[in-house]
Structure 1
Amino acid sequence: MVFFATILTAFAQCPTVSNSSPPAICDAAGYTFSDLNTFAIDNGGGILWYDSPTGGNFFNNNQLVAEGTYYADSSTGNCGTRQPITINFVVAATNQNLEGIYCSNENATIQTYINDELQSNAPVGGSVEVYYDLQLSMQANGTDVLQDGGTNYFIVFVDASNCRSQIEGGTTAVFDAPDDPTPLAIQEFCSNTNPTIADLDPGTTSAFNWYLNVDANGDGIPPALNSSTALINGVTYYVQAQDFFCESNAAPVTVIISDPFEAGNDGALDFCQTDISSPQFEDLFPQLGNTADTNGVWSGPIATTNGNTGTVDVSLLPIGASVFTYTVPANGACPEDSATVTITIYETFTSGTVSVNNPATFCEASLPTSFDLETLLDNEDPNGQWTDNTNAIITNPIDLTGTTPGTYNFTYTQNVAPNPCPEESTTVQVVILQDPDAGMAINAVFCENDLATNSPYNLFDALDGSQDNNNGVWTDDTNTVVSNPIDITSLTVANSPYQFTYTIDNGTCSDSEVITITVEEAPESGTPIATFPEFCEGEAPAALDLFDLLDNEDQIGTWYSGTDNTGTAITNPIDASVLTPGTYSYTFDVDAIGSCDDELVTVEITINPL
């Protein structure tokens, strides 16, 4: 009974919802669950509102109420199934993201925020209240400037009957805008530079864009201009600096494009000194071509007359080049321009006359590497032009080596272009004579024991036969003329080699060829004695030296048995004591020296019987 009474007591303390569907609330601004208690009777257990009939989550009393159904319970939450109440507001929630984003240079205010983001969510004919605090004690003025960075606000929407919505959260974010560009307001260009957008000075180091027009807010109207877009005279362009989110205020730049004054093209006037009269006036301006403007002035080594015409008395100018400058003024951004007219007074030069040294004659074998052609001229002026017989320009002195025989013309010319004086030329000649041919040496070599056999010796046998003729002169190494053929029997090894020179002459040029005769040493096989020895049998020497049977021999060689060197080689001395009666022959073959040898020599001994 006590337990049952306790249960009855607990339920008796649960709150009672007096009206589960009350009228829509007109002033919902700041309406909390504590305010919702006006629609419930506290039966002693207190009032606590939940989001579901059973279980679920309870709401704090100071929590803002949104439209919806809620459930009343005691503060202990043990009332079982809770009684519901459905709440409606006259001004419903917007359920929108009430965020405003601005750049610092927009100078946005609370009213800007209302106009941009809030007013469109207000009831028709209604208004918007913006507060700095949840308690709605600090209402913002429309003129309040939005703070830099992020700021939270508390928003209440009001209808035409002054019914107010529940508080909604709003946020503004104000980002720093880049500094405004500070370009020159007027920027000047010269038309001959073909200026483009890229040539404008933006007055900022930030990223930027150029625009042709701006809108009512002063922002550039897209599209941004390409950097290669040509500038137009008199047009105002607008530059805006940019960063990740914001743009600066647009700065105007007015473009002025000027056309340059033209000084024309460089010109020249050439005169021959002998053709100038005194005075002789010439106009310089026509030499500048057709593009020159007439507002220029002339300057130069002497004064000109007739303004831009630039009339000058050329008879007053010295030999050489005189430069006159025509200058037109600057125009706007276009600098001054200038062109020149060069007046050149040429002196008349002479090419001279042919000297007594002409023509120059050279033999083919003695051609110079550097021959001065001007040695063939008299009274010529220097620095003229030389050409050969093919009319090719050449440099003097010239290298004649390798030139084939013939006659060559060389022409010296003065007053060549651009010299306007009459050309004058003088031609000289170089004659190259062909050399005679003395042939090629085939040097002779003799063994000293062959000299008698080859004497007299024909010296032409020591040439290869390519000589022009055999009518030349032979000389020895003392330059003494010798008669050919020559006696060579007196030539010796000690004085060898002997030198002889053959010289051939065609009247102007000569050629010589040197030949040598070399005498080489030869061996001596000796001469047999006048009477060969005879011995009685058994009385001949046991060591008979066969060299005793020769005179003046070289004892280097081989002895053979018999009358030539085809027999048996024997050892000398020989044992003659064993020989039987008869006549014995022995032949000596002396050793050769180099390529030289001597005749075989044969000796005899006789053994007589007893």
Structure 2
Amino acid sequence: MEKITLRGFLICFLFNLLLSQNIFSQCPSIPNTTQYFCDSQDPTIASLTAVDTGDGVQWYATASSTIPLNSDTALIDGMTYFADNNTGTCGARESVEVIIYGEPQGVSYQGFCITSSSQVLPTIADLFAVGENLLWYDAEIGGNVLSESTTLTDGQLYYVSQTPSGTGCETTRFSVLVSLFLVTEAPVGDSEQYFCGSSSNPPTVADILASGTNNWYSSLTASTPLNNATPLIDGATYYGTEVNAPCESDNRLAVTVTVYDENIAGDDTTLELCESDLANIGTIDLFSELNGNPDSNGVWTGDLPVSGNIVDATSMSGNNTYSFTYTVQNSTSCPEDSAIVTIVVSPTINSGENGVASFCILDAGEDLINYLGGSPDTGGTWSPALASGTGFFDPSQDSSGTYTYTVLGSGGCDASSATVDVTVFNLPQAAVFTGVQDVCANNSSFDLYSLLDGSEDITGTWLDNSNATITNPIDASSLTLGAHSFTYEVSNFCGVTSTAVTINVIQGPSSGTFTGIVDFCNPSTNLDLFTLLDGSQDSGGIWTNQSGVSVSESIDLSTLSVGTYSYSYTVTSTACDSVATEVTFTISSTDSSGVFTGSQDVCSTTSAFDLFSLLDGSESVNGTWLDSSNNTITNPIDVNTLALGTQTYTYQVNNSCGSSSTTVNFEVLEGFSSGTAINDVSYCASTGTIDLFDLLANEDTGGIWTDASNNTVASEIDITSLTAGTYNYTYKVSSASCGDNATTVTFEISEELSSGVFTGIQN
């Protein structure tokens, strides 16, 4: 095997490296990486420049494309193109950016304002265009180059090109049309102009008159013209220029406007009145009848005299129409305006006056209009409708009731109505007597109608045997025993009829009279219920209890509990209704004062001790508490006022059956008081040390103080370090027999006020 030396290896490596870097390729180079052209040159790929190093030049659209561009391909402004050799093997391609200059930029239409024939006319130098090394021509292609002093001609087209620095080429040309406008110094018109302020078509800036076409301004120096639709303001001055677009005169015509209020007479209206109302109306204010918002200084003319705005309504009559015209003429700048008030007076509607009609059912009938008072108008209608379909009332077909006659209103008159109250009477009926009845003498309300068969009219009258009118029902207890006769008489529009009846008054039973409630206290004997009656009762009756159960007249009271009891004594009769009397009595017992449940220990600091807590709860609540001196006291009691040791009290109850009492006692043990807090205390932190005992009253000594976190503290505390706010501390005293007693005190730390610190004298 041949041995490879280090030198040979390096030679091979460098050779391959040169091959990979295309050292042996003949690639073009581009000295100018940005190349400039003018649009007039119509540059193509062939216009690009690169140095051919021997293997030709091909141009590509991208650094990696494989298809070269044709030489006649038009260049694109701002595009980057890439150069390679004919075989496309250069690897990394050099690039060139293309910039193509076009025609200058400018305004294609340029106008100039000429205010007089003596004014120096604009020149080429006055035209506007943006570009480098501009040249103006009189033709789009070819033509003559124009100097800056060349005078411009109205309606002439001018053309401008540019030659960008460093290109050596001239672009295509941009055209500018020139117009010269002649404008006057100011428009001509009246300096004071007058207008009518119509609400429907108010005057605007467009209505101001001046020569030519105008712009109007709110002031002599305003730069923004007013919109033509801007409403004119009375007394304002407007400033106008003459406009020959795009030119406008420098001077302005001042016009002061006066805007008169339009003449407003209001809107036509029609007033409908009724002749019957004219007297009450008296006068009519025509102005108040106008619709809209009329001016108040108009003039009235019409069919009747008008004083101011007032016309006399009493001079009008029914079935007539009156016309009144209101004319307003405030200013000749506004047309006069008028409105008409028409008053239509209708004749009074008369339905007559209310009436009453009575018919017997056998009568032939009549037209109800004959029963109306006054002079009713004909042609009205009746409600409800009559069987005849007209106003004729037939008692055999129409019923009793109220019938309303209505005449419809017209014009200013309301409808009018009147009524007729109609009563149709049937033939009177006194009914048939059904036979004699026995009536108990104790019946205080006997209905005589029960003697009739029910066919009677209820409008009749009862008469006694003396033919005197009596009231039904009757009181039989006022009559003697035996037969009594009565007559029922009925009369109406159709006539009179009567029926005679008879009753037989008989003696009735008696259950006696209750003599009054009796109270039995702790009874142990029997009660004879008859002792509760007055003795007028009949024998043979029965006693019943509250449940209706029959009982003996002898009641064992010892079996009854405390309460109220009722019993009834009932006596029956074959001819009369049963009668009953109720008696009532009560059972009472002595009230309980309860049972003492044993002595209790009570602290001397207790302010409200309930003595009832020493009883078993069986006591009556309406008793009285007495102290050891037999004085009445109020419960609960304040133990603070009592001495230490045993205290004795008595509870006493009294009622109609006697009295009951129970004696109780309790032991008063010594307790300690934590005192009463003093509220609404405030300190400044600068106070320093405070004593918490100053915030209590009537406290016992020997207790301890704790803060809001339940930490024990001394009664004297330093508040210098405390911030503004509310602070709570609790004082607690303890007793072996009565437990703990605590009181919380509260105080406020107020924020310190500062007047600042003097920093020294200043010059």
Q: Which has the higher contact order (CA 8 A, sep 6+)?
A: 1
Comparing both structures, which one devotes a greater share of its residues to strand? 2
State whether TM-score is above 0.5: no
Superposition TM-score tier, normalisation by shorter sequence: 0.3 to 0.5
TM-score (norm 2): 0.32
TM-score with structure 1 length normalisation? 0.39
